[in-house]
Amino acid sequence: MSVDVHHVLDGPADGPAVVLSNSIGSNLHMWDPQVQPLVDNGFRVVRYDTRGHGESAVPSGPYGIDDVGGDVLALLDSLGIESAHFAGVSLGGMTGIWLAQNAPERVRSLVPSFTSAQPGNTQMWLDRVKQVRTEGMAKIAEGGIGRWFTQDWIDANPERAAAMREMTATTPAEGYAACCELLADLDLVPGLPKITAPTLVISGADDKALPADHGRVIADGIRGARFEVVEHAAHLGNYEQAERYTQLILEHFKGVA
């Protein structure tokens, strides 16, 4: 069953809708750098917190990809949006892939970013579930910041890095754990050829969590998909290299009729 997810709207009510979907361990504020440029270009920006994250509900886990995808469909219905451009990072990107496979009429164009169609590392995810449920989010947040950003960026932006670390630390432990269970056995690869939405896949050159090879698999599986690798970007490349990332998604969204 879908849950009501916390969301924020920006931009003109009659503008083409863009849905932005957050990574695991973050919330809708990870998209702050993209909001104003999208609004300035006439888009209606819909940001939301994935279930179990931010200010959204935290239903008991485990969650399935159809659960988090269903939440987006319910959100679009509640807002009266027939179709939208969709960009997602990490788990958000996987959500977008599922939507494009299962509700193609709702996805105007797709940008899976710093993500994978099959994350793998099943035991790692299950170990993390156990750690979160026994120890909480503090250690996850401490280790996660080094996956989200390059060390050069962290050194140059200590206050911003601390704020992003706090974003993970304050993520509900059960919501995070339930999403880890989702990732443990996820495989969206077989359905990639079904996707018809114009697709731009973006990976980070320095993403150790989901290296660019994962993005290449997605791009190779979707007919006509374009693949871009952003230099000096780790897992949250939309934030670390905001200007380049925003340029890429704007070009893609504006290029779709």
pLDDT value at position 72?
Answer: 98
Indicate the Cα dihedral angle 6, 118, 142, 24, nearest 10°.
0
pLDDT value at position 230?
Answer: 98
| Residue 100 Cα distances to 110, 229, 233, 236, angstroms | 8, 22, 26, 22
Orientation angle between helical segments 242-255 and 32-40, nearest 10 degrees = 40
pLDDT value at position 51?
Answer: 98
Separation between Cα atoms, residue 116 and residue 183, nearest integer Å: 10
SS3 231: coil
Per-residue pLDDT of the chain (257 residues; tens, 9 = 90+): 789 999 999 999 999 999 999 999 999 999 999 999 999 999 999 999 999 999 999 999 889 999 999 999 999 999 999 999 999 999 999 999 999 999 999 999 999 999 999 999 899 999 999 999 999 999 999 999 999 999 999 999 999 999 999 999 999 999 999 999 999 999 999 999 999 999 999 999 999 999 999 999 999 999 999 999 999 999 999 999 999 999 999 999 999 96
**Strands laid side by side in the 84-89 sheet:** 7-10, 44-48, 17-21, 84-89, 107-113, 200-204, 226-230
pLDDT value at position 61?
Answer: 84
pLDDT value at position 161?
Answer: 97
Question: C-alpha 221: how far from its chain's center?
Answer: 19
Q: What is the pTM of this model?
A: 0.97
pLDDT value at position 257?
Answer: 62
pLDDT value at position 19?
Answer: 98
Instruction: Give the count of beta carbons closer than 10 Å to the beta carbon of residue 163.
Output: 11
